C-alpha cells in the first residue's frame, strides 16, 4: 500500500507546485497584453494567497469530516477549474476573480498533504514531498516559456489545467488507499490540552518561529514571483529567456530538497536551516556583483538551493521544540503565517520595483533573510533553554 500511495502523494504535490510559478514567469508578457501595471501581479498574488490562508485554517475541520483523500482530490479539481479560467481570461479583473478558487484549492491540498505525511511517514519523506513541489515549480516556467514562444500565455495555463484534471481522476481512483499506510510512522494519539491561537502564541518561542516562517515564505514567494521581471526589466534579458531562467530558482529548490532527504540523516533540523540561510545569502550577493549574467544564473540556483531545507526542517522540528501535544496546532498557525508572508511581501516588492527599481530584488531578499536568521536563532535559543530547564527539574 505504501508503494502505491506514495507516488500518488508525490504526484499531488507536483500538481501543487505547477501553478505556483506560472504567474511570475508569464507576467512580463501578460501585463502588457492586459494593459495593466507591472506591479499589478502583486494584487493577483494577494488574492490567491488570501484564499490559501482561509482554506488552510479550515483544513483540520475538512479533513476530519471528509478525509485527506477526498479533500486533496476536490482541492486539485478546484485548482484545475481556476487554471482553466485563467486560460480563457483576457482582462486583469477576470484573473482576480479566478484567483479566488485558485487559492482556495491550493491551501487545502497543501495543508492536508503536509499533515498526512507528517503523521504517517518518516522525516525524509517530508523533504522529498517538498522536492516534488519543486519539480512542479520548475516545470511550470518551462511549459509557460514554450507556450509564450509558440502559442500564447493563455495556452500555457490551459496545458497545466489539463494536467490537473487528469491528476484529479487519478486521485479519485486512489481514494481507497487513503488510510494509515502499513509500516508507516506511528501517529501521536495524545490530545493537546490547549489548541486556541491565544494560548499557543504565548508558548515560548512560538512568536519567533511564526516570524521566521513568515520571512522564509516572503523570500521564497518574492524570489519566484519577480525573478523573470528582474531579469527582463533590470538585467535586459528577453522575456522568453527570462521565463526559462526563472525556473532556475525552482530547479535549485527541487535538487536541494532531493539531496536534503539524505543530508537530514547527518545534520539536525537547526543546522539544515542554517545551511539553507547561508546559501540564500551567497546567491543574493552573487546577483549584486557586476560581473555579467553568469553570476545571475548561479545566484538564482543558489537561492533555490538555500530555500530547499528551511520549510520542511521548520515543520519537522516543531514537535521537538514545542512538544508533540502542541505541534499540530502550532504547525497550523505556522502555515497560516507562511501564507501571510506569501500574500503580503511580493506585492510590497512589486511597488518598490515599479516606483524605485527592480534592481532592489537581491537587496530586498537579503533584508528579509537577516530578520529570518535573527528569529530562527532566537527561537532555537528559547526552546533549548526550555528543554534544559525541564530536564533540570525532572
Question: Percentage of the chain surpassing pLDDT 90?
Answer: 11
- The pLDDT of 359-371, averaged and rounded, is 92
CA 16 to chain centre: 9
pLDDT tens digits for range 135-193? 787 788 788 888 888 888 888 889 888 888 888 888 888 777 776 554 444 444 444 44
Q: Across all residues in the chain, what is the average pLDDT?
A: 80
How far is the CA of 240 from the CAs of 70, 266, 326, in angstroms?
Answer: 38, 40, 47
CA distance 265 to 259: 11
Question: For residue 78, is pLDDT > 80?
Answer: yes
Tracing cell 497584453 back to the chain, one arrives at 33
Is the pLDDT score of 328 beyond 70? no
Q: What is the pLDDT of residues 11-23, one digit of tens each?
A: 877 877 777 777 7
Domains of the chain: 2-177+193-393 (1.20.1250.20)
Of 347 and 63, more confident: 347
Entry field: residues in the chain: 394
For residue 393, is pLDDT > 60? no
Q: Where are the beta strands (DSSP E) in the chain?
A: none
Distance, CA of 246 to CA of 7 (rounded, Å)? 27
The Cα–Cα gap between 266 and 320 comes to 17
The model's confidence at residue 218, banded by pLDDT at 50, 70 and 90, is very high
Cell 518561542 -> residue: 205
Amino acid at each position: 500500500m505504501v508503494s502505491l500511495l506514495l507516488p500518488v502523494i508525490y504526484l499531488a504535490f507536483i500538481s501543487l507546485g505547477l501553478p505556483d510559478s506560472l504567474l511570475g514567469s508569464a507576467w512580463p508578457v501578460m501585463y502588457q497584453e492586459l494593459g495593466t501595471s507591472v506591479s499589478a501581479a502583486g494584487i493577483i498574488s494577494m488574492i490567491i494567497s488570501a484564499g490559501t490562508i482561509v482554506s488552510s485554517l479550515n483544513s483540520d475541520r475538512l479533513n476530519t469530516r471528509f478525509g485527506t483523500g477526498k479533500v486533496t482530490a476536490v482541492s486539485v479539481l478546484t485548482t484545475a477549474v481556476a487554471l482553466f479560467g485563467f486560460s480563457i481570461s483576457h482582462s486583469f479583473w477576470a484573473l482576480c476573480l479566478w484567483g479566488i478558487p485558485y487559492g482556495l484549492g491550493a491551501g487545502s491540498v497543501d495543508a492536508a498533504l503536509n499533515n498526512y505525511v507528517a503523521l504517517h511517514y518518516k522525516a525524509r519523506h517530508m523533504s522529498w514531498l517538498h522536492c516534488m513541489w519543486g519539480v512542479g515549480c520548475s516545470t511550470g516556467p518551462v511549459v509557460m516559456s514554450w507556450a509564450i514562444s509558440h502559442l500564447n500565455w493563455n495556452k500555457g495555463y490551459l496545458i497545466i489545467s489539463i494536467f490537473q484534471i487528469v491528476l484529479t481522476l487519478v486521485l479519485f481512483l486512489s481514494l481507497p488507499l487513503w488510510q494509515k499506510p502499513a509500516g508507516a510512522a506511528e501517529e501521536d494519539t495524545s490530545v493537546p490540552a490547549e489548541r486556541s491561537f491565544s494560548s499557543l502564541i504565548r508558548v515560548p518561542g512560538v512568536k519567533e518561529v511564526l516570524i521566521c516562517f513568515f520571512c522564509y515564505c516572503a523570500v521564497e514567494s518574492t524570489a519566484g514571483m519577480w525573478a523573470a521581471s528582474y531579469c527582463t526589466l533590470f538585467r535586459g534579458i528577453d522575456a522568453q529567456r527570462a521565463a526559462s531562467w526563472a525556473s532556475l530558482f525552482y530547479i535549485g529548490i527541487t535538487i536541494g530538497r532531493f539531496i536534503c532527504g539524505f543530508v537530514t540523516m547527518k545534520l539536525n533540523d537547526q543546522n539544515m536551516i542554517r545551511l539553507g540561510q547561508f546559501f540564500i545569502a551567497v546567491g543574493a550577493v552573487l546577483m549584486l556583483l557586476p560581473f555579467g549574467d553568469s553570476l545571475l544564473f548561479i545566484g538564482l540556483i543558489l537561492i533555490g538551493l538555500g530555500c530547499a531545507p528551511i520549510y520542511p526542517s521548520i515543520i519537522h522540528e516543531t514537535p521537538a521544540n514545542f512538544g508533540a501535544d502542541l505541534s499540530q496546532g502550532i504547525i497550523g498557525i505556522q502555515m497560516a503565517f507562511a501564507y501571510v508572508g506569501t500574500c503580503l511581501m511580493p506585492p510590497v516588492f512589486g511597488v518598490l520595483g515599479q516606483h524605485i527599481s527592480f534592481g532592489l530584488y537581491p537587496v530586498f531578499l537579503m533584508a528579509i533573510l537577516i530578520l529570518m536568521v535573527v528569529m530562527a536563532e532566537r527561537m532555537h535559543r528559547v526552546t533549548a533553554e526550555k528543554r534544559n530547564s525541564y530536564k533540570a527539574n525532572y
